[in-house]
Amino acid sequence: MSTSDSADNSLIDGGTHDVLVIGGGVSGLMAATFTARAGLDTIVVNDGESILRRNAHVENLPGFPAGVNPRLFADMLQAQATGNGADHVSGTVTELTGSLKEGFTAMVETEHATSKLNADRVIISSWSDVSYLSSLPVDIRDAGSKQYIETDALGRSTVDGIYAAGRLTEKYHQAVIAAGDGAETAITLIHDSETPFYNDWVTPEGYFTDRGRDIPPGCEEISATEQRAREQASMAAMQEYFKEPHSDRQRTHPSLSDDPLGRVPTDE
């Protein structure tokens, strides 16, 4: 089973989250990773399939000199967000209301019901249809069949407490750019929420303290023993991810396939 099957829809109607991320593609999952690592209660609502998964092979990604299977990479991104504490819901946001002062409420339509999900702040990184924002004064540019959210240089929309990242803000259509934009937008939200945060760094023991400095918020010092343990764990995880081909069948644009799930023909 792929990581994309791991959403927990029981989390809806479970109180107020610090951060709601709408969209589980590259930018949304990277944003969720950073807000969760900063200690903010983060939930991701994802509808359908990220365009990333339609790619045949993803190249020009840092750390993958030979490229990587896009469905595997998407699973790894979701596992990373989950491992850092983000929760996931499979559903469609049909309406978003509220304000930074009163909090935001998203109506989320799942397979079985429509429910409310509450959050103090929202990061939007969904596909370029934001009709669910119709009741909020978010500046949006219509471009034919697509809509783009206007933001400042750091991901803030024209409504306090609502942020946007990725292709939805007309960033270049590249996975590495989406990842960086999601991370930058998340850090903007972290600072705006007055969550103590310096940098997301893991440093060797003594890097700060041996210079008479406190460890800044967001940073961590680890011993040589812990460093080796984490390195071994990362090696084992990567070996597990890459031990066999990804099980999901390749998809393409729905208009290019007769298969009801948009899958490309197999060679068999």
DSSP string computed for 188-207: HHHHHTT---S---EEETTT
Spell out the domains of the chain, with CATH numbers in brackets: 8-197 (3.50.50.60), 203-268 (no CATH)
CA–CA gap between residue 99 and residue 83 (Å, rounded): 30
Residues 6 or more apart from 54 whose CB is under 8 A from it? 70, 251, 252, 253, 262
pLDDT at 3 over 60: no
- 105-132 tens-digit pLDDT: 999 999 888 999 999 999 999 987 899 9
What pLDDT band is residue 10 in, cutting at 50, 70 and 90?
A: low
Select from 167, 192, 189 the least CA-distant residue to 27: 167
CA–CA gap between residue 121 and residue 226 (Å, rounded): 34
Q: In the predicted model, what is the mean pLDDT of residues 87-101?
A: 96
- Grouping H, G, I as helix, E, B as strand and the rest as coil, residue 51 is helix
What pLDDT band is residue 264 in, cutting at 50, 70 and 90?
A: confident
- 153-186 tens-digit pLDDT: 999 999 999 999 999 999 999 999 999 999 999 9
What pLDDT band is residue 260 in, cutting at 50, 70 and 90?
A: confident
For the chain, give the mean pLDDT. Answer: 92
Select from 102, 105, 166 the least CA-distant residue to 135: 105
pLDDT at 5 over 60: no
